[in-house]
Structure 1
Amino acid sequence: MFDSLLFDLMLVILIGMLSQWIAWKYRMPAIVVMSIAGLLVGPIFDLINPKESMGDLFSPIITFAVAIILFEGSLNLDVREIKGFSKPVGRIVTFGAFIAWIAGSLAAHFLAGLSWEVAFIIGGLFIVTGPTVILPLLRQAKLKPRPAAILKWEGIVVDPFGALLAVFAFEFIKFINSEVTLKSLLLFFAASAFAVFLGWIAALLIGNSFERGAIPEFLKAPILFVIVLFIFVLSDEIMHETGLLAVTAMGMKMANMRLTTLNDVRHFKENISVLLISGIFVMLTASLDPEILLEITNPSIILYVLAMLFIVRPLSVWISTIGTELNVREKLLIGWIAPRGIVALTVSGYFATILLENGYEDAELLTALTFALVLSTVVLHGFSIGFIAKKLNLTTTDESGVSIIGGSRFSAALAQSIKETGNEVLLIDESWAALSEARKLGLNSYVGDILSEQIEYHIDLTPYRYMLSMTKSDIYNAHVCADFVPDLGRDHLFQTAFHVGKDIETFTISGGQTLFQPSISIYSLEERMHAGHVIRKTLITKQYSYTQYLRERDDKSILLYILREDGSIEFFTPKRELQAVAGDAIIALTSPAKTIERVKERLDVENGGSGLPYEKIEELFTEDTNGNRPTIPGDAPQSKK
């Protein structure tokens, strides 16, 4: 319709982002939606062909995009994150990756009919299991911590190295074929070492500049972006194909420098990475030749995909994890789940161009072959992981874990009460200071932005069924709930009431439910905490019914949640009428006056009715200089029953 490069670029970006939104909205793998969209506008309806319209620009755009994507991925490779389960992860990403490379290469040669050169290159590339695909699947399946952690970190650690292994395979094959001399091969390894050094130096310089404040805030992200591209191009000009190694080394070094300012550029790198992944993926699928696309139905390619699914992956996992603490059920699941992601397809397109330029004609099949493997693994693993995990009893049994967004005195007190019920609880806030009360109480906490895409690289949200957004930004709370609706469902998402003094329905973005009964803002909750209000537990019995409790409770008390007899919890909301039965407990925020009255009655009984002066009782609720309040006499600790 419109024959212009500008229109094609606009359409590619638009389709990519629309695909991402549809995938988020309907809880589908983004790569599947983008695949279908790219095929529809490209080889099926022939609306655009980015490779033809962009001409000489097509390959550099793909190359730059891969460099940025790999740098962004390598920024997550903090070695501290895998210390707890380093043995199985270390085996899988080293010995297991080597087995997968060799076995995958043999399958590509003997089953798919690729030449040895192309087979070993694509075999190296297919050791990756993309984190952009695996993380949503893990969240969906709610796996137990160990298999979830291993799958998660395998994807993160291996992802940047698949392309590098393919590069080394390419150079080694050329040496074996006498296309390059031993001197040239040694020169390549020397250049590779220099690329690592170049990336390392660049990370040191830019990281220290960030820490010293030598670069203003508004320039940090753009300068980092430009430096990454500069290092990539410089290394690649010195020796072709070493640029990817340089930017990966740069990202890994920055990830382990403990930079306090690294979070300042997080949103930029996430946004640019999502934009590039979406655009590049649509470009590659839309540029597929219809004849090559038909090759996906070729029996040899289908046989290759089946071999990768049912032989190569299980074999590499089972052999590499011999002698580790993994049991048979965990090996079965990990050996099945290995979805290839967007990075595999984008990098394969990059190598297809290089190999074709070097005279390897069968490299034309690389994109189609990769597409077949990526689509089949994403679909099969995406729809089967939950079912198989349940059959193998590898899903978490924790049904009432709670993540609380927003650090405050009240949120820490609420988290402490939930922890005492035996349920998992985690507090998350962007501010270290806001979580100080949580740290005093020994609660699990994490400093970060819950809306960041990278949050799941660092913490496992699987055990937390409920999410309470209680920051002091009402709009942020609403956005948190709206963002997690596809993952948790609206019934499990809550936010504190807006504090603007108007009808909340006027302001609520489609997302979670308003917390507590009656609804109250986090500001009012904090004021009550500072006024001496406390969180109390009241057991409902046959003699003391829920109706009696409601009749006798203080008018100022706030109903927080019900602790069921089986240990599960349900939160009160203004629009939801909960009923408690004998064996349940009501957790509420009560005023100090009501609490003092109840303690006076208890002390009267304990002292034979002799009573205690009111001033003495009031001392029980007087905070010390550290803000601590003594335990109320007679209070029973919260428990599951």
Structure 2
Amino acid sequence: MAVAETAGIAPVLGFALVGVLGVGSQWLAWRLRLPAIVLMLLAGLAVGPGLGVLDPSEDFGSLMQPMLAIAVAIILFEGGMTLNFESLSDAATGVRRLVLVGGPLGWAASSAALHWGVGISWETSAVFGGIMIVTGPTVIAPLLRQARLKRRPAALLQWEAIFNDPVGALAAVLAFEIVVVMQNAESASAAAVDMAVGIVGALVLGIAGGWGLSRAFRNALVPEYMKVPVLFVLLLMVFALSDALLHESGLLAVTIMGLWIANADLPSYAELRRFKEHATILLVSGIFILLAANMSRETLASLDWSAALFVVVVILLARPLPVLAALAFSNIPWRERLLVAFTGPRGVVLVAVAGLFGERLSALGVSDGDRVAPLAFALVAATVVLHGFTLTPLARLLGLTATETPGVMIVGGSRWSTALGMALRKLDLPVLIADPNHAHLRQAREAGLDTFWGDILSEAAEHKLDFVTYDKVIAATDNDAYNTLVATDLAPEFGREHVFQLKRMRHASARHALPATLGGQKIGADESYFEANARLADGWEIRVTKISAEFPLEQWREKNPEAIVIADLGPHGTLRLRGPEDKVKDTEGTRLVVVAPKRQERAEDRRDENGNDTMKSVAAKG
């Protein structure tokens, strides 16, 4: 009730507003193909210091800090759950160097930038410099999703962000304890003991939580419907107990717990991680709205030229130099070193922890402790906007994007798969054909298509293939049950609207009908594996046709009445796989992938430079 009495807006309405703005910003960013973090930051500033509609500190009162702490803990735990050691592969050396060498060097460089660049005291610089090690998984994850980087640079940025989050917080704790000892003349040995106990306690609690949860789930001590609730309760307990031993050590504990679970090979791991990802999206959205809205106009007005100088020094010197020094003489190519060095967005942990220690420094009598929070917000805002707009172009310039335009993964090698793959390759799209049977891939290999021999659902596929290169999947093996399994399993990752499947042989039977939650979308003429391949054996082919002003869709249809559209590539490079009921837009420049009867070309017929049909390509037979 105390919160409601002091609030300018009802707490329930405030929560709803934060949710709508956060998720709405993410959706709008997806529609406009803009960095989601930037839109969330702008939305928070608009409703907070801009319009004064939401003031989180007043509206939520004492609930604000606990909410942020728990949200950050859950985000770091989910980040730890993504860190399977097998996914490190050739990035392991770089990650170790970034954490063990780059972390301390970054601490020193950031502290120096604060002291000599902004004129802040060494006490405040040391504490704030430790926090600045953090690059923030809350920001890195959306940026990686948008930039579609190759595997190793993406792994370097992701692992560094997640590991350095708790490391940065603990560095700030260490520096703060030293300041406390200097201010109060307390025993340095007592402070060191407290620090050691806190870190060891966090490690023990994190390992114990992960080990205990894994054992309980593997031995069926927790029913399936209670696994997620039990996971959340244990996560909160580990975080709270560790934080009680040493403030901010709870971040380390939950990261270790998530890391343990990620490498425990749990049967239910995929479902747990998927739910955590959904929760993290909601939390990241809410946190950024809250932190931006919590900035007062006075705080923003206090940012002067020295704050701008501080941001520039950090982006151009304090971040790149430690990273380049840490990765020197390693197996990481120079292009990847540059990308990592000039990609250091800060996120919610920096703002939350910096605000906390700024208040504590001021309480100790450190005169410039109150400058920490506004500088932290300035750094977060600047790096979020900068890297949100520059990461993709920079990665493209350095040749580190997985692909310019995402392609198609075809599961199942056959004559039909090879013909479709060759047609898609004419559109300059990445194509991969995967099959557990090596012999089924012979035609695809001979055609020069990329292939994967193995189960596409295996861990080997996850670790060896850059799934980010493809955004559509076609399940096209001769096994209907396996096609359904592939489509169902990959649908949450690729999106149900991007997963397709050849028709099942017995789909019309009520006894064999499947619910809508299983399987993929229809494609082409909605044929089975045997029908699709038999059509090609009977004299049909898969080819590419270009629609133009001289050769519109209607005219093409008149000349090719039997042709079936499988896909179309719009003039802006958007590929759409088509089902039997989907209509093709008559847009100039659109290229169609169709299955149609073969034909013989007359001598005067022409083909454009890409091998596409033109208006003069007239079927002589078929």
Question: What is the correspondence of 1:234-633 to structure 2 with a 5 Å cutoff?
Answer: 234-296=241-303, 298-352=304-358, 354-355=360-361, 360=366, 362-395=368-401, 401-404=407-410, 414=417, 418=421, 425=431, 442-443=452-453, 446-447=456-457, 460-464=466-470, 468=474, 472=484, 495=500, 515-516=523-524, 519-520=525-526, 524-526=527-529, 528=531, 575=583
Equivalent residue, structure 1, for 2:231: 224
Aligned equivalent of 1:201, options 180, 189, 208: 208
Classify 1:62/1:385 alpha carbon distance in 2 versus 1 (closer, same or farther; 3 Å). Answer: closer
Aligned equivalent of 1:59, options 57, 65, 85: 65
Question: What is the correspondence of 1:113-124 to structure 2 with a 5 Å cutoff?
Answer: 113-124=119-130
Q: In 1, distance between residues paired with 2:76 and 2:203?
A: 14
Q: Are the counterparts in 2 of residues 31 and 341 from structure 1 also a CA contact under 8 Å?
A: no
Q: Are the counterparts in 2 of residues 70 and 248 from structure 1 also a CA contact under 8 Å?
A: yes
Q: Residue type of the partner of 1:211?
A: R
Q: In 2, distance between residues paired with 1:439 and 1:204?
A: 42
Q: In 2, distance between residues paired with 1:144 and 1:41?
A: 37
Q: In 1, distance between residues paired with 2:395 and 2:231?
A: 41
Classify 1:400/1:26 alpha carbon distance in 2 versus 1 (closer, same or farther; 3 Å). Answer: closer
Q: In 2, distance between residues paired with 1:25 and 1:539?
A: 32
Equivalent residue, structure 2, for 1:452: none
Task: State the 1:84 CA deviation.
Answer: 1.7
Classify 1:13/1:537 alpha carbon distance in 2 versus 1 (closer, same or farther; 3 Å). Answer: same
Equivalent residue, structure 2, for 1:151: 157
Q: In 1, distance between residues paired with 2:415 and 2:119?
A: 61
Task: State the 1:198 CA deviation.
Answer: 1.6
Per the alignment, in what secondary structure is the counterpart of residue 408 of structure 2? Answer: strand
Q: Are the counterparts in 1 of residues 131 and 350 from structure 2 also a CA contact under 8 Å?
A: yes
Q: Residue type of the partner of 1:4?
A: A
Equivalent residue, structure 2, for 1:614: none
Q: Are the counterparts in 2 of residues 95 and 320 from structure 1 also a CA contact under 8 Å?
A: yes
Q: In 1, distance between residues paired with 2:333 and 2:257?
A: 37
Task: State the 1:64 CA deviation.
Answer: 1.8
Q: In 1, distance between residues paired with 2:414 and 2:371?
A: 56
Task: Calculate the TM-score normalised by the size of structure 1.
Answer: 0.70
Q: Are the counterparts in 2 of residues 41 and 48 from structure 1 also a CA contact under 8 Å?
A: yes
Q: In 1, distance between residues paired with 2:228 and 2:258?
A: 14
Equivalent residue, structure 2, for 1:16: 22
Aligned equivalent of 1:43, options 49, 65, 70: 49
Greater alpha carbon shift after TM alignment, 315-324 vs 120-129: 120-129
Q: In 2, distance between residues paired with 1:420 and 1:446?
A: 22
Equivalent residue, structure 1, for 2:106: 100
Structure 1, residues 203-235: CA drift from partner, whole Å, max 9, x if none?
A: 111111011111111111111111111112122
Identity %: 35
Aligned equivalent of 2:93, options 84, 87, 91: 87
Q: Are the counterparts in 1 of residues 138 and 348 from structure 2 also a CA contact under 8 Å?
A: yes
Classify 1:84/1:416 alpha carbon distance in 2 versus 1 (closer, same or farther; 3 Å). Answer: farther
Greater alpha carbon shift after TM alignment, 69-78 vs 265-274: 265-274
Q: Are the counterparts in 2 of residues 128 and 340 from structure 1 also a CA contact under 8 Å?
A: yes
Greater alpha carbon shift after TM alignment, 384-393 vs 18-27: 384-393
Q: Are the counterparts in 1 of residues 68 and 352 from structure 2 also a CA contact under 8 Å?
A: yes
Task: Calculate the TM-score normalised by the size of structure 2.
Answer: 0.72
Q: In 1, distance between residues paired with 2:138 and 2:288?
A: 13
Classify 1:397/1:473 alpha carbon distance in 2 versus 1 (closer, same or farther; 3 Å). Answer: closer
Cα root mean square deviation, aligned:
4.9
Per the alignment, in what secondary structure is the counterpart of residue 447 of structure 1? Answer: coil
Q: In 2, distance between residues paired with 1:129 and 1:98?
A: 14
Equivalent residue, structure 2, for 1:69: 75
Classify 1:6/1:394 alpha carbon distance in 2 versus 1 (closer, same or farther; 3 Å). Answer: closer
Per the alignment, in what secondary structure is the counterpart of residue 402 of structure 1? Answer: strand
Task: State the 1:28 CA deviation.
Answer: 2.2
Classify 1:181/1:274 alpha carbon distance in 2 versus 1 (closer, same or farther; 3 Å). Answer: same
Equivalent residue, structure 1, for 2:38: 32
Per the alignment, in what secondary structure is the counterpart of residue 267 of structure 2? Answer: coil
Structure 1, residues 356-402: CA drift from partner, whole Å, max 9, x if none?
A: 55555644333322221122122222322343344444455776742
Q: In 2, distance between residues paired with 1:135 and 1:278?
A: 12
Classify 1:385/1:411 alpha carbon distance in 2 versus 1 (closer, same or farther; 3 Å). Answer: farther
Q: In 2, distance between residues paired with 1:381 and 1:175?
A: 38
Greater alpha carbon shift after TM alignment, 78-87 vs 195-204: 78-87
Classify 1:391/1:225 alpha carbon distance in 2 versus 1 (closer, same or farther; 3 Å). Answer: closer
Classify 1:196/1:333 alpha carbon distance in 2 versus 1 (closer, same or farther; 3 Å). Answer: closer
Number of aligned positions between the proteins: 539
Classify 1:169/1:390 alpha carbon distance in 2 versus 1 (closer, same or farther; 3 Å). Answer: same
Classify 1:304/1:496 alpha carbon distance in 2 versus 1 (closer, same or farther; 3 Å). Answer: same
Equivalent residue, structure 1, for 2:218: 211
Task: State the 1:330 CA deviation.
Answer: 3.7
Q: Residue type of the partner of 1:334?
A: V
Residue segments in structure 1 that go unaligned for 5+ positions in a row: 429-434, 450-454, 486-492, 502-507, 541-549, 564-568, 579-585, 595-641
